[in-house]
Amino acid sequence: MAMPNLSHADLEKLKFFINFVSENPTVLNLPQLQFVKEFLEKFGGKVPSGEFKMPTGAAGGKCPFGGDAAGGSGMNVDESEESELEESEPESEVELDMEGVIEADTEANQPMGDTNKTPTEEEIDQASDLRSQAAAAYSEQKFDEAIDLYTKAIELNPGNALFHAKRGQAFLKLKKPNACIRDCDKALELNCDSAAAYKFRGRAHRLLGNWEKSANDLRQACKLDFDEEADEWLREVTPNAKKLEQHRIKQERKRAERESKKAQHKARAHAKERKQQQQQQPQEQKPANDIRFDPEFLTALQDKEFQQMLMDIAKSPENIEKYKSNPKFAKIAEFGNKIGLENVAKMFEGLNRTQAPPPKPEPKAEPKPHDFDDNLD
């Protein structure tokens, strides 16, 4: 390689670099200066381990050799990238209209009746009468009384989904959305197509500020049995529900992008690790005194006269004397000084056996038939 033509300015920069490294040797742990570190270690130098941090007030916290070294720039590129991936972007706040949201009720669960009970005809009739009384109390805004009557009806006929839905409606009037949700859940367990249960549960979720759940329930209620009141409630919660849905989709997309970047980062890290392991593995060293790995000797083997000398020496080591004046014997003598002439010949003999193709079998004479005429008469 030719000597580079360095200007005075280049030499000044080199001088500055050497002075800076002398005072801050850990700077050589930066990835962009890895080649300098390897150069020093090649001649016996040793670079202190540890992260490089830019001296306070120097270069505005910027590393003069590239990168921001103000806080832990000794970190390699992969580690820096991984740390950026792990720092998830904080979720942005969604501005919602929270008017009408109330505090959740925390009372004990209401009686749900024995679902394993099979009511008699008389009990079914009694429960129907109680339901009528509860509806009358509800219309008179006696909601506590209505709840008690619906509870008695449920205990007589616990398998009636409408009783639970209507009691849930009464709980709504008392601002007890959680109690309403429990009744509506039970109603939908008994009848998954109960429009009333979806309607009142949707309204209860709206009072708790569960906008997406509210919208889903009210949509389902209108789908099963369109109701103007349910539709009005749905239009009321839709703006907040749509904002939350769009925000959730955005966050899920960002999360998927982060996971994809993490997977790509891991793949690059594994590839880099494999490459480093391969580079660190010692390459197979061919023995210097092994004739099998000497290209000049292997080339000489193609010479018939050279082969004949080796074969003659292999048969009788005393034949060495008659070949000493032959120029082609010099290569044999060179290896003979290392491992002995007899060993060179024996090694050739082994190579000759492994490399020579097996002899072709001689064709066998076919036996003559008894009535064969050789025309000798």
Chain segment 291-307, per-residue pLDDT in tens: 556 666 667 767 777 77
Q: Which residues contact 21 (CB under 8 A, 6 or more apart)?
A: 27, 28, 36
Q: 85 or 110: whose pLDDT is higher?
A: 110
Least confident of 46-55, 182-191, 218-227: 46-55
Residue-level pLDDT at 275: 84
Residues 139 and 201 in one domain: yes
Same domain, 228 and 312: no
**Number of domains the chain contains:** 3
Is 263 inside a domain boundary? Answer: no
Average pLDDT of the residues of the chain: 79
Residue 88 has pLDDT above 50, yes or no: no
Examine residue 280 and state whether it is found in any structural domain, yes or no. no
Instruction: Judge whether 60 lies within some domain.
Output: yes
What are the residue ranges of helices labelled H in 68-210? 77-86, 121-139, 143-156, 161-173, 177-190, 195-208
297 and 240 within one domain: no
Angle ∠(279,280,284) on CA atoms, nearest 5: 85
pTM, entire model: 0.50
Angle at 246 between CA 242 and CA 250, to 5 degrees: 170
Q: Are residues 142 and 218 in the same domain?
A: yes
Residues 299, 240: one domain?
no
Torsion over CA: 27, 30, 36, 42 (sign): positive
Choose the weakest-confidence range: 99-108, 211-220, 260-269, 323-332.
Answer: 323-332
Residue 347 in domain: yes
Please give the pLDDT value at position 31: 81
Q: How far is CA 124 from the centre of its chain?
A: 60
pLDDT of 138: 97
Residue 92 lies in a domain: no
Total count of residues recorded for the chain: 377
Residue-level pLDDT at 306: 74
Query: Quick one: 30 exposed, middle or buried, by C-beta within 10 A (0-12, 13-18, 19+)?
Result: buried
Domain range for 212 is: 121-244
CATH of the domain at 226: 1.25.40.10
Asked if 318 and 236 sit in the same domain, the reply is no
- 8 A C-beta contact, residue 169 and residue 185: no
More confidently predicted of 63 and 142: 142
CA distance 177 to 61: 57
Note whether 147 and 170 are within 8 A (CB). yes
- Answer with the one of 47, 68, 89 that is the final residue of a domain: 68
Neighbouring C-beta atoms of residue 180, cutoff 10 Å:
29
In a domain? residue 365: no
Regarding whether 320 and 226 lie in a shared domain, the answer is no
Give, as one character, the DSSP assignment of residue 215: H
Measured distance CA(234)–CA(215) in Å, rounded? 6
- Whether the per-residue pLDDT at 101 is higher than 70: the answer is yes
The tokens of 258 are what? 């982060």
CA 248 remoteness from chain centre = 23
Which residues are bridge partners to 62 per DSSP? 68
Instruction: Specify whether 59 is located in the same domain as 169.
Output: no
> Is the backbone of residue 72 left (phi > 0), alpha (psi -120 to 50) or beta?
left
- Give the pLDDT confidence of 245-263 residue by residue, as tens digits: 999 899 899 999 999 988 8
Q: Are residues 129 and 240 in the same domain?
A: yes
- Residue 1: inside a domain, yes or no? no
Distances (CA, A) of 314 to 2, 17, 55, 189, 347: 51, 65, 74, 97, 9
pLDDT for res 343: 59
Task: Among 213, 244, 275, give the residue marking a domain's end.
Answer: 244
Confidence band (pLDDT; 50, 70, 90) for 73? very low
User: What is the per-residue pLDDT for 370?
Assistant: 56
Higher pLDDT, 309 or 255: 255
Q: pLDDT per residue over 338-369, tens digit each?
A: 555 555 555 555 555 555 455 556 666 565 55
Q: Are 126 and 236 part of one and the same domain?
A: yes
Assigned domain for 279 exists: no
209 with 315, same domain: the answer is no
* Both tokens assigned to 83: 């740390």
Q: At what angle do helices 329-339 and 304-315 cross, to 10 degrees?
A: 40
pLDDT confidence tier of residue 233, bands split at 50, 70 and 90: very high
Q: Say yes or no: 238 and 131 in one domain.
A: yes
**Local confidence band at 161 (pLDDT 50, 70, 90 cut-offs):** very high
